[in-house]
């Protein structure tokens, strides 16, 4: 379990700052107290940065598709093929070509009615093109 933020760093920096301010012209006390206040404040900032940078998770830009989902799409026939083509188009827009235009219904119809062996070859070629850019 993570320990809570050490607020006492800030309290200690405030105490050193108060000592430096009240020392006024007594430089033998004011300068070391001010230096200690700055040092302790730096520790507080370092602690805060360490906690926030380690707790952030970088979100994935592309959501993985479970294998069972792809198998279900292949088993679904033409509707599943359309889902596979749309997924490949989304991946290509994110990785290769953000300006990739949407498919026309005629293009989609031609792709989903391909023979299984030709459709699998089409999918394999698209995946290979995407993997070649990553």
Domain boundaries, the chain: 7-55, 67-133
Counting DSSP H helices and E strands in the chain, the numbers are: 6, 0
- The whole-number pLDDT of residue 106 equals 92
Sign of torsion over alpha carbons 30, 31, 35, 36: negative
pTM for the whole structure: 0.45
Q: What is the mean pLDDT of residues 98-119?
A: 88
List pLDDT tens digits, range 66-83.
656 666 666 666 667 888
* Percent of residues, the chain, with pLDDT higher than 90: 7
List pLDDT tens digits, range 15-45.
988 988 998 888 898 898 889 889 988 888 8
Compute the CA torsion angle 124, 128, 130, 132 (nearest 10 deg): 180
């Amino acid at each position: 379990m993570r320990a809570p933020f050490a607020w006492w760093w800030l309290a200690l920096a405030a105490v050193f700052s108060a000592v430096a301010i009240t020392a006024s012209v007594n430089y033998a006390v004011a300068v070391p107290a001010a230096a200690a206040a700055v040092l302790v404040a730096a520790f507080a900032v370092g602690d805060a940065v360490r906690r926030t940078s380690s707790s952030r998770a970088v979100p994935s830009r592309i959501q993985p598709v479970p294998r069972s989902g792809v198998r279900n799409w292949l088993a679904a026939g033409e509707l599943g093929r359309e889902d596979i083509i749309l997924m490949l188009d989304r991946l290509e827009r994110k990785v290769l070509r953000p300006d990739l235009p949407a498919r026309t219904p005629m293009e989609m119809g031609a792709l989903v009615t391909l023979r299984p062996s030709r459709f699998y070859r089409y999918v394999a070629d698209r995946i290979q093109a995407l993997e070649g850019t990553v």
